[in-house]
Structure 1
Amino acid sequence: MENKPTYIKIKDFTTESGVFCAILNLSFEVFGPALNTAPIVLVNHALTGNSQVVGENGWWNDLIGVNKTIDTTKYTVLAFNVPGNGYDGTKIENYLDFNARDIAKLFIKGIKILKIKQLYAIIGGSVGGGIAWEIAALEPKLTNHLIPIASDWKSTDWLIANCFLQEQILNNSRKPIEDARIHAMLCYRTPESFKEKFQRTTNEELNIFNVESWLSHHGTKLQKRFQLSSYKMMNQMLKTIDITRNAESFQEIVSKIDADIHIIGINSDLFFTAEENKATYQELKKYKNNVTYQEIVSIHGHDAFLIEYEQLDNLLVAIFQA
């Protein structure tokens, strides 16, 4: 039986850009033991994800569940929906009014309303990891473990450039979701991944290359389940990750974070590159002892955190068997 999101009304919220929202709906789902009866793991979803992390349509079933790495007999799993992600019916058209820190603030408000004093871990991939960084920067004592996967504490120029192109497609294309998804898939995978998968083969029935057929399929599939406003909103979140925006220096911010920080990069990631993750790790080591960097080795690029489950399990098992 599938969970359904529960709603919290957040009142009188002002975004970082100064826009006042009288009411915002924040929805969430809980898996495993009831809240505040077991250690709590907050899971932040990626761009096209949602709060359904486990279950029939769970996007992280290989990692989370009964007797899985994050065992839902031992841990309570909490997952919020980014407002406007389309999963819970909340629609946000004015996506430019929000940034990743706003979402982190909303999640923190939700956590306080749910009377959660301490999290065992915050984990997220891609933009979800960026929002995890933002939460830890705002509430440095909230979690014991911070686990950003295929992510970073800031959006790089390269990432911002790709988000800019995504926004151009979303605002100007005749088939915005399909076309934006096709471009995004080129960022999420690698030339080597495509070579292994397609080998320059053709779809004789359609008289096109199989790589073209595959990309078109992904575009059509997303168009059927994702709203245009949701794509714009999530792309804006990806573009605006920066724990130092209008704040203290990186050193001052991270020095206050109590959590053990476990950075997990992907050697072939074209989006949040391993080089950036390693640079973050080297910088963090100057101010913190409880930080590690580990790497998924894969030809599949950014999407490897959703593909290479055995590797991810091996990298996380010690944290969740403690």
Structure 2
Amino acid sequence: MENIPNPIIIQDFITESGAIFSSLPLSFTLSGLPLHTAPIVLVNHALTGNAQVTGENGWWNDLIGEDKTIDTNKYTVLTFNVPGNGADSFVIENYQDFTARDIARIFIKGLKALNIEQVFAIIGGSVGGGIAWEILALEPNITEHLIPIATDWKSTDWMIANCYLQEQILNNSSRPVEDARIHAMLCYRSPESFKEKFKRTLHSDLSIFNIESWLAHHGNKLQKRYQLSSYKLMNQLLKTIDITRNSEDFETLLSKSNAAIHIVAINSDLFFTPQENLETYNELKKFKENVSYSEIDSVHGHDAFLIEYKQLDHLLADIFKAETIAK
């Protein structure tokens, strides 16, 4: 079962921008087999996610759990909360102090504090997958498998533009969390997804379109459970994914790693587009053998990594189920 140990305290952490934190709490959850008794899977959460990946409120419990794709009878599943993500009482006010790489550095310190030299797999969707890329670039031998889903090793101009608009809404709106969420939902889904779901229908009680009612509902729902400071921070991380910034070039960084890289894109993703993921795959193939590319086929856009469990199970079965047979 999932358990929530005491947070790790990261001492004297200096961000890349030079901000100093004398102590940073890094909270985490463990589920599945006890630590150091089985292969470890590190799961990185997405923007509004947290370390609760399994169990009743687990945001990925269709993928992770007993007899699921990532089987908690066979693996130890470790998930860190991004410090400041709102899952605990720790708040980061100056969100611009942090980049995705800073979070990767903090997670690596967390692994070392738990005496973990290497994990079996690092998996993450969206910004969590971007942080996974950053971890591998910093520590090439830390994992056997990297599984970035609906993400990439860098934020594109399109992504940066969307995050900039999010930031403007978060800093200037009178209803920042609701309004930013409404905009974000347009990028998380796709025109086809909305067409299939709503068909231009009207809400009989409210005399507005059902799509409007649905967007308002998502805005209100997030506002009730999510802090403004957390949203600003996570948006900043999404904007700053780039393993090559102030570092070596893509090929130099990734050729240091023997990890198998399994890129999973979504054919309707408007945020991290499949074209961009294919470019990454083709770049990797020039100098690396153990790379694969697959696509989730869905109308639902970026959020399909949280929706299309059967497809994800099929795409990931070779990694997680073959390993358990081999053991």
TM-score (norm 1): 0.99
1:159 maps to 2:147: no
- Is the CA contact 1:148–1:262 (under 8 Å) kept in the aligned structure 2? yes
SS of the residue corresponding to residue 6 of structure 1 reads coil
Query: Could you tell me which residue of structure 1 aligns to residue 229 of structure 2?
Result: 229
Query: Could you tell me which residue of structure 1 aligns to residue 77 of structure 2?
Result: 77
SS of the residue corresponding to residue 9 of structure 1 reads strand
- Is the CA contact 2:9–2:24 (under 8 Å) kept in the aligned structure 1? yes
- Is the CA contact 1:2–1:56 (under 8 Å) kept in the aligned structure 2? no
Query: Could you tell me which residue of structure 2 aligns to residue 96 of structure 1?
Result: 96
1:98-177 equivalences in 2 (<5 Å): 98-177=98-177
1:242 maps to 2:242: yes
Q: Give the distance between the partners of 2:269 and 2:5, measured in 1 at CA.
A: 32
Question: Which aligned segments of 4 or more residues in structure 1 are displaced greater than 2 angstroms?
Answer: 1-6
How far 1:6 moved relative to its partner? 2.7
Q: Give the distance between the partners of 2:314 and 2:186, measured in 1 at CA.
A: 27
Q: Give the distance between the partners of 1:308 and 1:232, measured in 2 at CA.
A: 28
Q: Give the distance between the partners of 2:238 and 2:282, measured in 1 at CA.
A: 23
Q: Give the distance between the partners of 2:12 and 2:3, measured in 1 at CA.
A: 28
Q: Give the distance between the partners of 1:120 and 1:139, measured in 2 at CA.
A: 14
Amino acid at match of 2:140: P
Amino acid at match of 1:60: W
Q: How many residues are aligned here?
A: 322
Compared CA separation, residues 162 and 175, structure 1 to 2 (3 A): same
- Is the CA contact 1:125–1:150 (under 8 Å) kept in the aligned structure 2? yes
Q: Give the distance between the partners of 1:312 and 1:145, measured in 2 at CA.
A: 16
Q: Give the distance between the partners of 2:225 and 2:86, measured in 1 at CA.
A: 9
Query: Could you tell me which residue of structure 2 aligns to residue 288 of structure 1?
Result: 288
TM-score (norm 2): 0.97
Query: Could you tell me which residue of structure 1 aligns to residue 51 of structure 2?
Result: 51
Q: Give the distance between the partners of 2:248 and 2:64, measured in 1 at CA.
A: 35
SS of the residue corresponding to residue 256 of structure 1 reads coil
Q: Give the distance between the partners of 1:3 and 1:170, measured in 2 at CA.
A: 33
1:304 maps to 2:304: yes
The C-alpha deviation readout for 1:227-286, integer Å capped at 9, x for no partner, is: 000000000000000000100111100101221000000001000000000000000001
The C-alpha deviation readout for 1:282-316, integer Å capped at 9, x for no partner, is: 00001100000000001100000001100010000
The C-alpha deviation readout for 1:150-201, integer Å capped at 9, x for no partner, is: 0000000000000000000000000000000000000000100000000000
Query: Could you tell me which residue of structure 1 aligns to residue 214 of structure 2?
Result: 214
- Is the CA contact 1:298–1:308 (under 8 Å) kept in the aligned structure 2? yes
How far 1:117 moved relative to its partner? 1.3
SS of the residue corresponding to residue 305 of structure 2 reads helix
Q: Give the distance between the partners of 1:135 and 1:3, measured in 2 at CA.
A: 24
Gaps of 5+ in 2: none
Q: Give the distance between the partners of 2:191 and 2:84, measured in 1 at CA.
A: 32
How far 1:5 moved relative to its partner? 5.2
1:181 maps to 2:181: yes
The C-alpha deviation readout for 1:9-59, integer Å capped at 9, x for no partner, is: 100111011111111111100001111110000000000000000011000
Amino acid at match of 2:255: S
Q: Give the distance between the partners of 1:188 and 1:257, measured in 2 at CA.
A: 31
Task: Quote the RMSD (CA, aligned, Å).
Answer: 0.8
How far 1:4 moved relative to its partner? 3.3
- Is the CA contact 1:54–1:61 (under 8 Å) kept in the aligned structure 2? yes
- Is the CA contact 1:31–1:72 (under 8 Å) kept in the aligned structure 2? yes
Amino acid at match of 2:24: L
Q: Give the distance between the partners of 1:112 and 1:18, measured in 2 at CA.
A: 22
How far 1:3 moved relative to its partner? 3.5
Query: Could you tell me which residue of structure 2 aligns to residue 68 of structure 1?
Result: 68
Amino acid at match of 1:240: T
Amino acid at match of 2:104: A
- Is the CA contact 2:46–2:124 (under 8 Å) kept in the aligned structure 1? yes
SS of the residue corresponding to residue 214 of structure 2 reads helix
Q: Give the distance between the partners of 1:3 and 1:59, measured in 2 at CA.
A: 16
How far 1:2 moved relative to its partner? 6.3
- Is the CA contact 1:6–1:29 (under 8 Å) kept in the aligned structure 2? no
Query: Could you tell me which residue of structure 1 aligns to residue 277 of structure 2?
Result: 277
Amino acid at match of 1:257: S
Q: Give the distance between the partners of 1:293 and 1:56, measured in 2 at CA.
A: 32
- Is the CA contact 2:52–2:59 (under 8 Å) kept in the aligned structure 1? yes
Q: Give the distance between the partners of 2:6 and 2:213, measured in 1 at CA.
A: 38
Q: Give the distance between the partners of 1:72 and 1:90, measured in 2 at CA.
A: 29
- Is the CA contact 1:152–1:272 (under 8 Å) kept in the aligned structure 2? yes
- Is the CA contact 1:51–1:81 (under 8 Å) kept in the aligned structure 2? yes
